Chains A and B, each alone.
Chain A
Amino acid sequence: MSGTYLGMPAFPEAAATATANGRLRANLTHATHTIRDKRAAAVGELTDWAALRAAGAAVKDRTLRHLDHYLTQAEEAVTAAGGTVHWAADAREANRIVTRLVRETGEREVVKVKSMATQEIGLNAALAGAGVRAYETDLAELIVQLGDDLPSHILVPAIHRNRQEIREIFTERMADWGRPAPVGLSDRPGELAEAARLHLREKFLRAKVGISGANFLVAETGTLVVVESEGNGRMCVTLPETLISVVGIEKVVPTWRDLEVYLQLLPRSSTAERMNPYTSTWTGTTDSDGPRAFHLVLLDNGRTDALADTVGRQALRCIRCSACLNVCPVYERAGGHAYGSAYPGPIGAILTPQLRGTTSEVDASLPYASSLCGACYEVCPVAIDIPEVLVHLRERVVQGGPATVRGQRTRLKPAKGHAAERAAMRAARWALDRPGVLRAGQRVAARTRRLHPGRLPGPGRAWTDTREVPAVPAESFRDWWRRTGGREDR
């Protein structure tokens, strides 16, 4: 894929472009509303959902508070089962490791299971740079790859495309990547799925190297779990001779038993199914069944920075279900590309600024890509309080303060764009501490109220771009109270 998130505009500009695109908005509204009701029904079937959710959050909290312990335990178990474990501090190192491992097989192509981690690190571009072609095999990832596009949703990366657009992409682009689309392809979803089956079949059958992520990594057994629907995941983890899995360090769960919580929470939250069609688990290598070599690449890439923030840490509980995207009014209107990273929607708005820091314009704008309505928190199967983290990150952007960046403790400077806001808040604090000053100020404001402009001048202008300046009453509450003692009839 040649698309890149680098150099993306800040959220407000990107969102303004996206919301003006009528087709995009219609596609997103249709898709997110379809899944919302289904999710609610699937969750409603389980009377103990709240208890599962509490357990899901607690297991992740236990893991995160003792992450070093569980990672070394997982490493030992994977190694004992015949796998090889690699550690990558950042994206570049992970890409270097995977590229080297592919090169060592002598192969020039790999088949890939949809993986957020490899999207995050830009693995496909790195492999292409080394002369290795990576074939995305998830249907939506295939649509994105063929369309030279970027993913816009965690679960359904091509959610911004409707069936007519998908038909066009398949018809025009499949031939460039292998078997062309069938002649006379219609836009029926069943026919489109069939076209993907035919196109990818030959790639699966000849593949020697598979690359995956993982939904879970069980520390006590060294077992990896991949949850999917189409069977492309099974193809990639079963048929090749070499399997390389790139897994974020927060994907570890302590015990085999813990899967009983997540295998109930994830499918219902994600695709609104009682269970997704296929779940594959494997532990190292197995004699004469599946790959002969298995490599696990454990990825940090900013996760330890998020871990160091005691409020932001909860974002690492995320199991990538995407329920928060599907209920978010901002996501529904702005679409996933506006978030400028592999992780769109509410979870992206708290995860990306923690993984990448808040120094770039787009990352500093992400904590504001929310109305704080709280729908995301309500549906989150691991109870991540997304609004709490958003507010916390806004504070970090505006005020600066201590943070960990690439493993180093540092003190962030306040963001430049917020000087006027900070000055206003300082002035407000000073006035609110001094009742006489406040009273005098309010009286001046009341007497001059007919002269107030509809839009603020100077640094306040941006604030009134999207808001009305509140009307100042003729009499302040304090003066009214003093005059009437609170009696309505006076």
Chain B
Amino acid sequence: MSSRDLVLGRIRRALADVPLTEEPADVHVPRDYLSTHAPADATEMLAEHLADYRALVHRTDAAGLPGLVADLLAARGAQTVVVPPGLPPEWLAAADAARVADAAETTARELDAVDSVVTGCALAIAETGTIVLDGSPDQGRRRITLVPDHHICVVRVPEQVVDSVPQALPRLAPARPLTWISGPSATSDIELSRVEGVHGPRTLEVVLLRG
């Protein structure tokens, strides 16, 4: 007997108390929790909650974005920046840092030598202070937002902001690899106190781009 059959057989014997006619949907799941806790202003809450977990939040409009991104990179002293293939070219129009393409053949070690990365996002969640990346062309492969130590993420507000986790999931495609980011890398492993900065980007800057 294969282990698959063995385990499934054990499960069926273990569930002898479940009537044969019972369907999964017959087990009632009460869903009377809230689909949103109804923030008065989702974008404001997003900014506040991102800042709570030490993300740096900036606000601008389309005209101000290239200058802001250029300033943020310059302030870090970034010489190089990874650029996802579908990033709107104007976002980096004013930046001096040398562009590094997000290419399949780029190794992790090469990425480790890059200073910064600039991306868009799939959406952002106000209640939890989260940005979600789904690998779309303006976000690129997962590793480009992981290995460099400085991540600038542009969120189009208010259209990319949802209130809550229940509002976020239906807008995300499970087949795509997702990365949910809530502040920079952190740990609570030393005496259960939170400190920022371990393996992921230690500086996360979120730009709220008003359309």
Contacts and interface: CB of A to CB of B under 8 A. Distances in A.
Interface of A: 27, 30-32, 34-35, 46-48, 51-52, 54-55, 58-59, 61-62, 65-72, 81, 87-89, 93, 137-140, 143, 155-156, 158-159, 162-163, 166, 189-190, 192-194, 196-197, 200-201, 204-206, 218, 221, 223, 229-232, 234-235, 238-239, 249, 254, 256-257, 259-261, 263-264, 267, 271, 273-283, 286, 288-290, 298, 300, 304-305, 307-308, 310, 404, 407, 409
Interface in B19-52: 22-24, 27-34, 37, 49, 52
Interface stretch (B1-9, B75-83, B89-97, B152-160): B1-9
B112 A48 contact: no
A68 B11 contact: yes
Given A257-B170, A278-B179, A278-B185, A55 B146 contact: no
Contact of A59 (B12, B14, B29): B29
A266 B205 CA distance: 26
A98 to B, nearest CB: 14
A288 B104 contact: yes
Interface string B84-123: 0000000000000000000010011100100000000000
Interface string B154-187: 0000000000011011100011111111111111
Contacts of B199: 137, 197, 200-201, 204, 230-232, 234-235
Contacts of B176: 283, 286
Contacts of A48: 32-34, 37
Contact of B198 (A193, A206, A281, A286): A193
Interface of B: 2-4, 6-18, 22-24, 27-34, 37, 49, 52-53, 104, 107-109, 112, 125, 127-130, 135, 141-143, 146-147, 165-166, 168-170, 174-201
Contacts of B168: 260
B14 A35 contact: no
Contacts of B108: 204-205, 239
A32 B28 CA distance: 35
A230 B185 contact: yes
A385 to B, nearest CB: 18
A166 to B, nearest CB: 6
A273 B181 CA distance: 13
B198 to A, nearest CB: 4
Contacts of B195: 189-190, 193
B180 A279 contact: yes
A300 B7 contact: yes
Contact of A277 (B24, B107, B186): B186
14 contacts: A55-B33, A65-B27, A68-B15, A70-B24, A88-B3, A89-B3, A159-B191, A238-B142, A274-B52, A275-B182, A278-B179, A279-B180, A298-B7, A304-B7
B178 A205 contact: no
Contacts of A280: 142, 177-180
Given A189-B193, A260-B169, A289-B143, 17 more contacts: A48-B32, A159-B191, A163-B191, A189-B190, A193-B195, A204-B108, A231-B201, A232-B198, A256-B169, A271-B194, A273-B194, A274-B49, A275-B129, A277-B53, A277-B184, A281-B174, A286-B135
Given A230-B185, A275-B129, A277-B184, A254 B24 contact: yes
A138 B112 contact: no
Nearest to A158: B189
A317 to B, nearest CB: 13
Nearest to B188: A271
Contacts of B14: 304-305, 307-308, 404
